[in-house]
Amino acid sequence: MPRLLCVCLLAAGVLPGAAETPEPGKAYFGRNRYVEYIAGDLPFVLSAPHGGREKPEELPDRAKGTFAFDTNTQELARAIDEAFVARTGHHPHVVICRIHRRKVDCNREIVEGAAGHPLAEQAWKDFQGFIRTAQQAVVARHGKGFYVDLHGHGHADARLELGYAHDRDEFALPDAELARPEFIKKGTLQFFALQDPAGYPALLRGPRSLGGLLEQAGFPATPSPAKPVPGSPYFNGGYNVRTHTAPGTGFAGLQIESHSKGVRDTEASRRRFAAALVEQLAAYLDAQMGIRLPTKPAAK
Ligand SMILES: [Zn+2]
C-alpha cells in the first residue's frame, strides 16, 4: 500500500521521493545528516552551502579549491526561516550543508566540489537534489519561485554584495547596454526580467532593486542607488545561483554575500537582518514577480 509507505518514510525524515509531499517546517536529511532540508510551502528557496561546521573523518580534506568558512550563515539561514514564519505563518524551503567546506564545496560543480571522493559526491548530490526537490514543489504549487544562495564575505567594505551573474565592470555600462535582452539572459533574474528589458537597469541598481530596498531598510548593499557599480573585490554569483535560475527552472534569484557586523555576527543581528530581508523580499516579489506572500493572521 503505497500511501502507508510514504507516511513511514516521511516519519523517518529521509529524502522525500518524487511522489511525496514533504511536511512544511520538518527537517529531512541526506546521507549521514550532512545535508539538511527544511521543507516549506512558500514560493521561496534558500540555500547555505558554506556554513557547515562538521568535519567527519570519513571525508578527506580537499587539496585544491577555496576553503573559507562562511561564519554563521547556517544560523542566518535558520533565522530567515523563522522570520518568514513570523511574517507569513509559512515556511520557505531551506537547504543547508552541515559539513565544512574543507570536505565538500556545494557551490562548485561536482568535480571541484567533491574532489572525486564518493561520499563527498553523495553529500554534493544530496544538496543539489534537495534544491531541485524544493524548486519542483514550488513550481507545482505556485507556478514560479525565487531563490537565494546565502554566503558571507570578509571584504573590507561592510556591504551586502548582491550577485546576479554580471561582472562588476558591467554595472558601469550605459543603461541601453544593460537593457539588451542578450545581456539580461546572462543574469539570474532573466525568468521575469525579459518581460521588461527597459526596466532591467533599475531592477539591478535603482531604488526598487533589492539593493535599493535593503539600503532603505538600513543595510548597505551593492549594486544599489548608493553604490551602483560594485567595488573590487565583489562576488558576482556562483555555481548555485546560475544553475538554479537557469531557463526551465521557473525561478529567478540572486546570491547574497553578507558582511558580518550587524548582519550575522550575533543572534540579535541575525534576527534583525532576517526580519528586514523578509520584509523587503515581500515587497520586491510582489512588485516584480506578482508573488504575494501570505500575511500571518493576528493572534487572538
Ligand atoms: Zn560562500
CA of 70 from ligand 1 middle (Å) equals: 6
CA of 279 from ligand 1 middle (Å) equals: 24
CA of 94 from ligand 1 middle (Å) equals: 16
Q: If 0-12 CB within 10 Å is exposed, 13-18 middle and 19+ buried, where does residue 145 land? A: buried
| Band of residue 298 on the pLDDT scale cut at 50, 70, 90 | confident
Tens of pLDDT along 121-145?
999 999 999 999 999 999 999 999 9
CA of 53 from ligand 1 middle (Å) equals: 13
Tens of pLDDT along 241-293?
999 999 999 999 999 999 999 999 999 999 999 999 999 999 999 999 999 99
Q: Which residue has the cell 547556517?
A: 74
pLDDT at residue number 100: 98
pLDDT at residue number 129: 98
Mean pLDDT of the chain: 94
Q: In Å, what is the CA distance from 92 to each residue of 116, 134, 147, 196, 207? A: 32, 9, 10, 27, 26
| Band of residue 17 on the pLDDT scale cut at 50, 70, 90 | low
Nearest to 67 by CA among 76, 55, 56: 55
Residues in the 5 Å CB sphere of ion ligand 1: 50, 70, 151
CA of 50 from ligand 1 middle (Å) equals: 5
CA of 88 from ligand 1 middle (Å) equals: 28
pLDDT higher than 50, residue 11: no
CA of 193 from ligand 1 middle (Å) equals: 26
CA of 136 from ligand 1 middle (Å) equals: 24
| Band of residue 1 on the pLDDT scale cut at 50, 70, 90 | very low
CA of 224 from ligand 1 middle (Å) equals: 21
Indicate the CATH number of 22-289 among 3.40.630.40, 3.90.550.10, 3.75.10.10, 1.10.3720.10.
3.40.630.40
| Mean pLDDT, residues 163-187 | 98
CA of 144 from ligand 1 middle (Å) equals: 26
pLDDT higher than 80, residue 25: yes
Tens of pLDDT along 177-219?
999 999 999 999 999 999 999 999 999 999 999 999 999 999 9
CA of 170 from ligand 1 middle (Å) equals: 22
Tens of pLDDT along 82-127?
999 999 999 999 999 999 999 999 999 999 999 999 999 999 999 9
CA of 96 from ligand 1 middle (Å) equals: 12
CA of 150 from ligand 1 middle (Å) equals: 7
pLDDT at residue number 9: 40
CA of 204 from ligand 1 middle (Å) equals: 21
| Band of residue 14 on the pLDDT scale cut at 50, 70, 90 | low
pLDDT at residue number 249: 98
pLDDT at residue number 8: 34
**Whether residue 22 has a cis bond before it, omega within 30° of 0:** no
CA of 46 from ligand 1 middle (Å) equals: 13
CA of 295 from ligand 1 middle (Å) equals: 31
CA of 126 from ligand 1 middle (Å) equals: 18
CA of 174 from ligand 1 middle (Å) equals: 30
Ranges of each domain in the chain: 22-289
pLDDT higher than 70, residue 56: yes
CA of 64 from ligand 1 middle (Å) equals: 16
| Band of residue 157 on the pLDDT scale cut at 50, 70, 90 | very high
Give 14 or 69, the one with higher predicted confidence.
Answer: 69
The pTM for the full model equals: 0.94
